[in-house]
């Protein structure tokens, strides 16, 4: 209902019109090769591991995202998550399908929401995206993970604090399939994705691929 009552302005440029106008949609920085084969960070040439993920023990096999998490995308994602704009999920899924190759996996799941934030927002962006991607890719979507405890928002935390904040914060609800796609809205440092992937691996997954709508890009 909130989605229908809000003024129709583009979230990227604030002009009257759809939630994301055609010009802003075309202008999104899509993340394509060359990139790090492991974490999906854009690179000058193809590399197996980049400076961002090299030396880290990662529970996921690969991570891929559709667009760069720049200022226009930040505004879109913030509205999607905080203002109940559920209709952005199929739009975001369409962008992901256009950029990210269909994973060879048996099931999609999603990073589970914090209970209090889910109640406040009334929806969960990662779940909505996962279910739309499941329809696009012809795969089942199942809630394989749950939060074991509340955690602070990751926003504003440095990389080390992010890892500590989500360490042990997830658990699988039972035994999981051997190959799983883990969906979230944004990949920032990979801390949340790695903690959730670790829980899936402990429950029996042999390969976890991470797919997100957006990814933060750090220049070194």
Q: Is 166 exposed, middle or buried (0-12, 13-18, 19+ CB in 10 A)?
A: buried
Give the pLDDT mean for 52-66: 95
Distance of CA 120 to CAs 65, 114, 115, 158, 195, Å?
27, 10, 9, 25, 24
Q: How confident is the model at residue 75 (pLDDT cuts 50, 70, 90)?
A: very high
Q: What is the per-residue pLDDT across 82-123, written as a single tens digit (0 to 9) for each?
A: 887 888 999 999 999 999 999 999 999 999 987 666 556 667
Q: Give phi and psi for 9, each to the nearest 5.
A: -130, 150
What is the value of pTM for the model shown? Answer: 0.90
Average pLDDT, the chain: 89
Q: Are 111 and 63 in contact (CB under 8 A)?
A: no
Delimit the domains of the chain by residue range.
2-215
């Amino acid at each position: 209902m909130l989605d229908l009552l809000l003024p129709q302005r583009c979230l990227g440029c604030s002009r009257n019109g759809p939630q994301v106008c055609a010009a802003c949609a075309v202008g999104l920085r899509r993340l394509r090769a060359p990139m790090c084969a492991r974490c999906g960070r854009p690179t000058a040439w193809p590399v197996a591991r980049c400076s961002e993920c090299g030396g880290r023990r990662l529970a996921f096999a690969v991570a891929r995202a559709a667009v760069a998490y720049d200022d226009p995308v930040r505004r879109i994602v913030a509205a999607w998550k905080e203002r109940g704009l559920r209709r952005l999920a199929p739009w975001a899924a369409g962008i992901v399908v256009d950029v990210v190759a269909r994973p060879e996996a048996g099931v999609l799941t999603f990073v589970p929401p914090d209970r209090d934030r889910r109640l406040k927002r009334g929806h969960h962006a990662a779940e909505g995206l996962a279910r739309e991607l499941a329809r696009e890719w012809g795969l089942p979507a199942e809630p394989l993970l749950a939060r074991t405890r509340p955690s602070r928002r990751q926003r504003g935390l440095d990389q080390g604090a992010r890892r500590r904040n989500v360490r042990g914060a997830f658990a699988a609800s039972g035994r999981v399939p051997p190959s799983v796609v883990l969906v979230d809205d944004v990949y920032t440092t990979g801390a949340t994705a790695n903690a959730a992937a670790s829980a899936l691996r402990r429950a029996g997954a042999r390969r976890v691929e991470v797919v997100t709508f957006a990814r933060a890009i750090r220049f070194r």
